[in-house]
Every structure is written in C-alpha cells, then in structure tokens.
Amino acid sequence: MSGGLPPGAASDLVEETFVVAGRTVRVLRPRDADAVLEDVLAEEDPGDDRLPFWAELWPSGVALARAIGTRPLAGRRVLELGCGLGLVAVTAALAGARVLAVDRSPEATAFAAANAAHNGVTLQVAVCAFEEPGPLLAGAPWDMVLAADVLYEPRNVPVLLDLLPRLVDDGGEMWLADPGRQMRDPFLDGLAEAGWRCQRLRGEPSTVAIHRLVRRATARGEGRG
C-alpha cells in the first residue's frame, strides 16, 4: 500500500503492530528513516521544516497511544498536534473518537491518512504549523488535544502556551507525552501560572511521562471519561 504516499525511500515500507486495549493497530512507516533524511538533504536548500521527524515511531507516540487507547473516547472530538505517522490519531479513532490529525509536514499527514485507512478508520488531516493555527481554531473547542514529544524546540513553548487556551475550554483536556525534554518544565510551569493543573502518569515505555492537563476550574472532574 503506497498510493498517495511520498516517493523514494519513503515508499519503501514496513509495518509495525501494536496491541492497545485489546485493539490491534498497524502502522506503516518508511523502512529506513535515515534514507528518507538523505533524500531530503539531497534537495536544493531544504528548510528545517523539511526534516523528516515524522518518518519513525518515537517512544512518546507509542506511550501516548497506549495511554489514550484505554480511555472512553466514543463520540469525542480529538485533535492531535504533530501527528507524524498517525499512531496516536489512529488509536483514538479506533476507540471511537472523531479525530483531526495535523502536522507541518505534508508527508506526515499523507502517512497518517494512509495508516487510518490501513486500520479501517477515517481521520481528518491538515497540514498546519503551530504558528498558523487556523484549521485548529476553526474546530475549537476540542474535547481532547493530544501531543507527543512536541517540546524538542524551544520556540514551540511560547507558541503552544498561547495556542492551548484557545483550543480547549473548561470542559476539555490536553494529554502531553514527553521523554524529558529540556523545555518540558518551562512549558508546564507556564500552564500552571495560567491556571492549569497537571496530573502526571507513567508512560509505557517508562522513559516517557504522560501529563494530563485540565483547567483548575474543572480539575475536580479528573475521574470523568
């Protein structure tokens, strides 16, 4: 299955399989992420936004998929920021959510859509940078916002601190998976100052922490689905 996917090294695919809450999730990815990077670097003057972070499955994405796959998501409106190959978004869709998966890379959204079809579910996808959040705001407020390992660049912190309150209202929540990036604590501190409460959960793999974030006004509802 390669229709609609990028050519070159990105069209040489392998499949990885995960079992989440009794559901099997199958993810197609490029066989060799380094070869995809070499293809990009061979382009004339590729920008930083062309770097293929999307081309592999990162531990934070696996941990977040496992964390939200056990949640009662039927009918909930879910947004994934930085969807990459789509593992988290597909897992949420298999659990019954209506999902918009976004990434600044068109290759990533192509893979996310292909992996949704590969698992028999449908996603909405959009190419969207955090700095230009029009498609994200058009659907706000979201019931749940998901993000795995999005704090690897310091510039993302102020952008996300400004964006998140516009994506989630008092009834929503954000789930962040992070492997201990240097900018994680400044981000969480900024949310705390803005009136958010964080519940930390252990991820699987254990090198990843899951942070469930809600506004303090609704923190007492942590036990709801």
Q: Any residues with CB less than 8 A from the CB of 146 and at least 6 apart, and which?
A: 64, 68, 78, 79, 80, 81, 88, 89, 92, 174, 175
| Contact assessment for residue 25 and residue 41, using Cβ atoms and an 8 Å cutoff | no
**Does pLDDT of 184 surpass 70?**
yes
3-state helix, strand, coil split of the chain in percent (to 5) is 35, 25, 40
Q: What is the mean pLDDT of residues 181-191?
A: 96
Q: CA of 180: how far to CAs of 60, 186, 187, in Å? A: 10, 12, 12
Q: Is 220's pLDDT higher than 90?
A: no
pLDDT at residue 43, as a whole number: 87
For residue 209 the two structure tokens come to: 């922490």
Mean per-residue pLDDT, 23-48: 91
Structure confidence at residue 216 (pLDDT): 74
Bridge pairing between strands 209-215 and 196-202: antiparallel
The C-alpha atoms of residue 86 and residue 28 are separated, in whole angstroms, by 9
Distance between CA atoms of residues 64 and 209, nearest Å? 9
**Residue 156 pLDDT level (bands cut at 50, 70, 90):** very high
Q: What CATH architecture does domain 58-221 belong to?
A: 3-Layer(aba) Sandwich (3.40)
Residue bearing the bigger pLDDT, 216 or 143: 143
CA 225 from chain center: how many Å? 20
Residue 2 has pLDDT above 90, yes or no: no
Query: Given this model, what pLDDT does residue 3 score?
Result: 59
- Helical H runs in 10-155? 33-41, 59-68, 87-94, 106-118, 134-138
Least confident of 33-47, 88-102, 131-145: 33-47
Mean pLDDT on 188-202: 95
Average per-residue pLDDT in the chain? 92
The average pLDDT across 144-158 equals: 95
Q: pLDDT at residue 223 above 50?
A: no
